[in-house]
Structures are given as C-alpha cells and as structure tokens.
Homo-oligomer: A and B are copies of this chain.
Amino acid sequence: MTARLRLAIAGVGNNISALFQGAEYYRKLTLQGVAEADFVGITRPRIGGLGVSDLDFVAAFEIHPNKVGKPFDNAVLADPNNYPILDVTLPKVDFIVDEGFTKEDSEPGSARFKAIVSRLREAKAEVLLYSLPTGLQWALDAYARASLEAGVAFVNCTPDIGARSPELLAAYEKAAVPLIGDDLASHLGTSVVHRTLLGLLSERGITLASSYQLNFGGNEDFRNLRDHGANKRDSKINALAQDGVDTSNVEIIPSAGYVPHLKDSKVAMLNLEGLGWAGTPVSLDLKLKVQDSSNAAGVIIDLVRIAAAARRARLGGFSAAATRRLKSPAGGHPKFTPEIIENSFNQLDATPVR
C-alpha cells in the first residue's frame, strides 16, 4: 500500500479548509461504498498511487492571530475563513500551527528560518503547499528556500514567481527536489469559460463586438482585490489572450464587488456581443457561480500528489504532469505536448511505492 502523503501548509486559508474537509468528504464516500472512479469533481482518482483522501496534514505556518498557536483542526475553520462546513466528521489533527515568516525575519540566516526548516524536517513533511495571499514575493522566496533546505517538495498556488524563476528551479533540480508552480488554474474558473466562448465565436466566424466579465464574491480574496484590482485585470486579460483571442473590446472587472453574504462563493457575469451574417446581432449572457476554494482545492489535490510522487521518484524540479493545472507553469504553456504530460503521469504512477 502507498504511504499517505505528509503535507505541510504555508497559509491556512479557505483553500486549506476546502482541502482538509474535502479529503474527509471522499473518505466518507468510500465508506459508503462509492468507487473512486465515480467520485464527483475528481479527474484523476490516483496519482502516484495516492488517492484523494490520502493526506496527512503534519505542519502549518501562519501569522493571523486567530490561527497561530491553535490546533490545526481548529485554525482551519477560524475566522475570516468562511468555506462552508461540510457534512463530514473531521479527524482530530491537533498539531499546533506555527508562526510563519514575517518580512523582518525572512532571511535564510534568521532564527525563524531555522525554526521553519527544523519543523518541516521534524514533521517529515514531503510537500510544502504555499497558499498565502497574492503579492508577497518575499514570503514566497523565504518559504521556497526553507523548503529546499529541508528537502521538501514545494507547490506554489499563487501568481507570484516561484517555478518561473530560473535560479530557483535550477536549485531545486540540482537538489533533486520537486518545485511545482506557478498560479493555480481553477478547476472551472471564469477565465477558461470566457476564453472558451470567445474562442467559439471566433472559430464560427462571428465577429466580436464587445464583451465584459465581472467577478464578485465574499471571501478575503475579494476584499483584497478591491485594492489590487488593476494588476489582476491585466493578468486576466492576458489569460484570455493566450489562445490568440483579440481582447481589444473585452473588459474585465476582477473584483466588481465584495459581497460579504456570498461568503466563499464567487459569481461571474459574462456578456459577449457578436455580429453575424449581415451584421445582425448575436448576444450571449452567462452567470457562473462556483465555490471559490473548492475550485482551488480540486486542483491542489492533484498538484500535491504530483509533487509527492515526484519526490518519492527522486524527480527534482518541475513535473510536466502539473502543466495543465497551472496558469503559468515553469517553461510556459506551449512547452509540453499532451503526450509528454501523459507520459509524466505514467512515470509517476509507475514509481515503486516507498
């Protein structure tokens, strides 16, 4: 039997609540006799022999006072986390959440750095999942270096630069430690829906007259986005443009609003106005509602299993298997063909169990 995945966490937000509760959701399904192949919302029941419930949370780093110093199973549900409470019995996971890096003590030589490296080693973590708010490049750098020093695979969920850094990637490769990133592609995000529809219009010869996309929600991301909307807008426009879609008449509002009662739900409104034969109009309005952190956790579950399986197989650096689960994979999007990606999965699956 494959050993369970030992997972450490940097940033105990909603995504981690979704991951922790969701793993139990699938364990419950198994107990009810549901076969893995019938699990809802799962593309790949096994990666490197690991199932979606084969997670042991073993360490966590945070700076929010509601979470630091608390047992993990407590911290993961603490305010401002507002992912729904699923109808599952959560296991007792009562290691204490450690204080994470602050900007002041994030240097490799610092006491905090040493403490975090020791904690990762002592916990026998296989993977460190980096899931802090976007925009803290110094924090990503510090965790990535600590992870490398501890020999722990690193997964970067954020758009900050991790696996895209040639230096960092080379260092991980040299040490034969996996480095997976950057920027989680949502399970079913607004960008992919919008891009798909823009592509469809273009393919069918409908001329795009105008389009807009609005996103709003009630979790901390949307509160934060109020201030950082401009960058996010550009990054989303780029996400649309990646398949050659002309975005000159497309407007994106990444955070149209923070609507607290939506909690961890996210709503996107899309409109596409096109011109068909003889300039007659084609119009398309769409409302997409998702559970924001489930959208992340459904992809994180693959990335951490890829990272653990790669580490077990002593495959350092980036793993091609992760490519389609990321918005900005190391090496960019056109690098790996579907065949290479599939081979990468097969290689991970074939690794003899430790």
Contacts and interface: CB of A to CB of B under 8 A. Distances in A.
A136 interface: no
A205 B42 contact: yes
Contact of A276 (B187, B214, B276): B187
Interface stretch (A70-78, A100-108, A110-118, A294-302): A294-302
Interface residues of A, number: 64
Interface string A215-257: 0100000000000000000000000000000000101010011
B253 A276 contact: no
A168 interface: no
Contacts of A289: 281-284
B274 A249 contact: no
A82 interface: no
A333 interface: no
B22 A278 contact: yes
A70 to B, nearest CB: 23
Contacts of A193: 197, 200, 284
- Tally of this chain's copies: 4
A326 to B, nearest CB: 14
A25 interface: yes
Contact of A277 (B196, B216, B294): B294
Contacts of A297: 277-278
A259 B253 contact: yes
A78 to B, nearest CB: 19
A188 B274 CA distance: 10
A301 B290 CA distance: 35
A126 B273 CA distance: 36
A90 interface: no
